[in-house]
């Protein structure tokens, strides 16, 4: 219940700043308003969509909380889609035009909407509520066409507004925002009271928990974070929410907070593998919380501008080391929270959960970036954890990222634990399949190996390293360079043909490669590239001196990573003398 407790606490802070709807309400996408007069006469059906984008988009609005429905008929209060509110839905005629249609189910949905409101508002005295009652009593679905209402409103969500009604600020007010509506939304709940596991108070227990929207891959209508819908999940004769007693208030609060974090444009959510991640902070002031959340967002998904990344790296390092931070918004007592969610049928499952102080978070992120340090670097700036996952996927597509890997990676990064070994095997698999040994992949393998073993891979070329796998990688890079220099313009080098075998079973492959390399070196020393030939011969000899007479028959997965690191360092480390020799060779050629 720790997650629900902190989300409930977050809701109370968000409500104070207007970031979350008040109790009994939820944020929904609304496209049209139906304006009625005091007699219930419909005057117009107008669009209230946002026009800032390329095409009109629904407005996200706080309305009475949406009901949970799947295949059944259950109306919302004071708003709903056109089938419920007006008894019409969209249908395409033979000419391809969208027209209003009335079906048996549509009529049932509209009648349910009418019955619910007539029963709820019986005896109402407020002029806005009585106008709604009169409208519902006099409305017929045929009037949609008679009044020439826009067909674009069909199947869209609609709210009501009383003509001329304004709020305290003088702006037009929707019917559900009238003060007289609130008492009708606080139902007389007959649910049994019990000890709430979230608040610790005796309160009516929620039978059903709210739907969570915005989790990638989950149902668009929302999925449950907490649910019990079958006997295998129930115990002691308890049904549904009684199996994990959470008060109605706490259930609403955590759902409202989580939906606000997941809402489009909240800037407090991102995608990592198959998980949707939300994050927030708690500090002494709203300003300090906002500052911490800004750092959280940038640390989890760093900016691309060099100046911004340098500033971010410096800020996190200062916080991690406990230095005085110049920003006045910084609060040393700040707590940060990161929650990873993934779809699971009609539910949402927790991939990972992290809560700590901001200083610990900064230290773990700084360590993660330090683990990825490599010369020459494969990154333009501090990398995002989610960006690393693409190196493990076929064609670098998100849908091909191995399941669960994103959650395992984030657990390791946030808690400062060893990175998942499956990441190392996934990258080695992609290297064998594609032959692409780039700096990003080598940096990831280095980070995985260094956290899991005592024998660390160096940041840059280490000529003194005695690790046989690392030296064999260096040797392979030198043999490849000798081949390329002796036979320029080859369509496929030894890297394309033998890298996978050489990195897994070196004793079988290297004797063959060495015999071929001797011919290449002999030809180089006799031709225009003699200087390069002699240099390569000395380098190959120096590497051989550090190897035992019996080459390893096989290399472990970690040693295969060291092999790749040695190859990358030797292949791409800058050497002015070699570059000059190669330039001279090109000139003479």
Instruction: Note the pLDDT tens digit of each residue in 406-420.
Output: 999 999 999 999 999
Query: For the stretch 375-400, what's the b/e string if a residue is b when 16 or more beta carbons lie within 10 angstroms of its beta carbon?
Result: eeebbebbbbbbebbebbbeeeeeee
Q: Whole-angstrom distance between the N-terminal and C-terminal Cα of the chain?
A: 73
With 70 as the cut, is the pLDDT of residue 236 above it? no
Peptide bond before residue 376 is cis, with ω within 30 degrees of 0: yes
Percent of the chain with pLDDT over 90: 65
Q: Is residue 57 part of a domain?
A: yes
Would you state the structure tokens that stand for residue 149, as one six-digit string? 């209402």
- Given a contact cutoff of 8 angstroms between Cβ atoms, the answer to whether 193 and 203 are in contact is yes
Same domain, yes or no, for 97 and 165?
A: yes
Q: Is residue 448 part of a domain?
A: no
Same domain, yes or no, for 45 and 165?
A: yes
Dihedral pair phi/psi, residue 251, rounded to 5°: -65, -45
Residue 24 CB burial class (10 angstroms; 0-12, 13-18, ≥19)? middle
Give Cα separations from 215 to 267, 276, 406 (angstroms): 14, 6, 15
Dihedral pair phi/psi, residue 278, rounded to 5°: -120, 155
Q: Is residue 381 part of a domain?
A: no
Over residues 515-528, mean pLDDT: 88
Dihedral pair phi/psi, residue 324, rounded to 5°: -65, 125
DSSP class of residue 57 equals: B
**Domain hosting residue 4, numbered range:** 1-21+188-264
Same domain, yes or no, for 55 and 94?
A: yes
Contacts of 329 (CB under 8 A, 6+ apart): 285, 287, 288, 290, 291
Same domain, yes or no, for 17 and 32?
A: no
Give per-residue pLDDT as tens, 40-76.
999 999 999 998 878 899 999 999 999 888 778 999 9
Residue 352 CA to residue 233 CA, distance in Å, equals: 22
Same domain, yes or no, for 161 and 70?
A: yes
Q: Which of 138, 156, 185 is the last residue of a domain?
A: 185
Over residues 489-507, mean pLDDT: 93
CA 103: distance to chain centroid?
Answer: 40
Q: Is residue 522 part of a domain?
A: yes
Residue 128 CB burial class (10 angstroms; 0-12, 13-18, ≥19)? buried
Contacts of 363 (CB under 8 A, 6+ apart): 320, 416
pLDDT band at 219 (very low <50, low <70, confident <90, very high): confident
3-class DSSP assignment, residue 388: helix
pTM of the model: 0.83
Same domain, yes or no, for 200 and 148?
A: no
DSSP class of residue 48 equals: -
To the nearest whole number, what is the mean pLDDT of the chain?
90
With 70 as the cut, is the pLDDT of residue 232 above it? no
Q: Where are the beta strands (DSSP E) in 474-543?
A: none
Structural domain count, the chain: 3
Give per-residue pLDDT as tens, 417-475.
999 999 999 999 999 999 999 999 999 999 999 999 988 999 999 999 999 999 999 99
Residue 500 CA to residue 431 CA, distance in Å, equals: 8
Q: Is residue 340 part of a domain?
A: no
Residue 50 CA to residue 30 CA, distance in Å, equals: 10
Q: Where are the beta strands (DSSP E) in 14-153?
A: 25-30, 32-36, 42-47, 59-64, 79-81, 89-92, 98-101
């Amino acid at each position: 219940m720790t997650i629900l407790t902190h989300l409930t606490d977050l809701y109370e802070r968000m409500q104070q700043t207007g970031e979350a709807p008040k109790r009994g309400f939820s944020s929904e996408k609304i496209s049209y308003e139906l304006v009625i007069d005091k007699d219930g006469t419909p005057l117009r059906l107008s669009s209230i969509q946002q026009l800032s984008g390329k095409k009109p988009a629904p407005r996200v609005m706080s309305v009475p909380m949406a009901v949970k429905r799947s295949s059944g008929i259950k109306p919302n209060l004071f708003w709903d889609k056109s089938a419920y509110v007006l008894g019409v839905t969209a249908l395409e005629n033979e000419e391809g035009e969208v027209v209003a249609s009335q079906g048996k189910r549509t009529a049932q949905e509209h009648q349910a909407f009418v019955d619910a409101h007539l029963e709820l508002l019986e005896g109402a005295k407020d002029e806005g509520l009585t106008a709604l009652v009169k409208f519902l009593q006099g409305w017929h679905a045929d009037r949609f066409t008679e009044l020439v209402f826009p067909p674009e409103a069909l199947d869209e969500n609609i709210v009501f507004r009383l003509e001329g009604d304004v709020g305290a600020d003088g702006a037009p007010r929707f019917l559900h925002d009238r003060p007289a509506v609130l008492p009708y939304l606080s139902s007389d709940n007959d649910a049994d009271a019990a000890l709430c596991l979230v608040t610790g108070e005796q309160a009516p227990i929620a039978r059903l928990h709210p739907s969570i929207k915005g989790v990638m891959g989950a149902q668009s209508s929302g999925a449950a974070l907490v649910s019990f819908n079958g006997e295998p999940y129930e115990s002691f004769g308890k049904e549904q929410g009684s199996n994990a007693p959470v008060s109605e208030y706490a259930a609403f609060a955590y759902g409202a907070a989580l939906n606000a974090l997941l809402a489009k444009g909240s800037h407090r959510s991102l995608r990592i593998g198959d998980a949707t991640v939300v994050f927030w902070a708690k500090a002494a002031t709203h300003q300090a919380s906002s500052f911490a959340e800004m750092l959280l967002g940038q640390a989890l998904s760093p900016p691309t501008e060099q100046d911004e990344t340098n500033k971010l790296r410096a800020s996190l390092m200062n916080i991690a080391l406990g230095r005085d931070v110049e920003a006045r918004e910084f609060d040393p007592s700040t707590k940060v929270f990161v929650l990873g969610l993934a779809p699971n049928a009609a539910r949402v499952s927790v991939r990972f959960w992290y809560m700590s102080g901001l200083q610990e978070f900064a230290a773990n992120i700084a360590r993660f970036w330090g683990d990825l340090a490599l010369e020459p670097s494969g990154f333009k700036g501090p990398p995002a954890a989610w960006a690393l996952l693409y190196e493990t996927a076929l064609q670098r597509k998100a849908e091909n990222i191995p399941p669960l890997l994103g959650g395992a990676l984030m657990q390791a990064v946030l808690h400062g634990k060893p990175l998942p070994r499956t990441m190392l095997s996934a990258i080695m698999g992609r290297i064998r399949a594609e032959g692409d040994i780039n700096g990003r992949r080598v940096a990831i393998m280095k980070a995985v190996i260094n956290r899991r073993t005592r024998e660390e891979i160096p940041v840059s070329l280490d000529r003194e390293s005695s690790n046989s796998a690392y030296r064999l990688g260096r040797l392979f890079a030198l043999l490849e360079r000798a081949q390329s220099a002796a036979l320029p313009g080859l369509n496929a080098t030894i890297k394309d043909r033998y890298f996978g075998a050489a990195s897994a079973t070196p004793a079988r492959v290297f004797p063959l490669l060495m015999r071929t390399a001797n011919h290449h070196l002999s030809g180089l020393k006799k031709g225009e590239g003699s200087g390069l030939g002699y240099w390569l011969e000395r380098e190959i000899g120096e590497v051989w001196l550090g190897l035992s007479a019996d080459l390893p028959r096989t290399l472990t997965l970690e040693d295969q990573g060291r092999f790749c690191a040695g190859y990358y360092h030797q292949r791409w480390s800058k050497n002015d003398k070699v570059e000059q020799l190669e330039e001279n060779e090109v000139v003479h050629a």
